[in-house]
Amino acid sequence: MIEGVEEDIIEKIKKSEARDNEVIKAMEEMKKAGVKVLRNEEWQIKNDLVLKEGKIYVPRDEKLKLEIIWLHHNTLIAEYEG
């Protein structure tokens, strides 16, 4: 179950418009064809998220990417300056 900060990140990913051309083309193809899966599941739309090869596509939003990295890599050891 996703909750708290991760839920906020998911919402930011859904709302971001900083997508690259490859994603825009894939989404347009899916929309035209009326499908949620494209090219043998290379691209999918699931729960309003774009997935590439089964993983959540994170838009080209540097602030959002840094937030995700901080969320998953910020540990007490990394913060300790000895």
36-82 pLDDT, tens digit each: 888 888 899 888 888 999 999 998 889 988 888 888 776 555 555 55
- Is the CB of residue 38 less than 8 Å from the CB of residue 26? yes
Residue (of 30, 37, 35, 31) closest to 53 by Cα position? 37
Rounded Cα distance between 57 and 79, Å, is 28
Q: What is the domain partition of the chain in residue ranges?
A: 5-79
For the chain, report the end-to-end CA distance as a whole number of angstroms. 35
Residue 3: predicted pLDDT: 58
Model pTM above 0.85: no
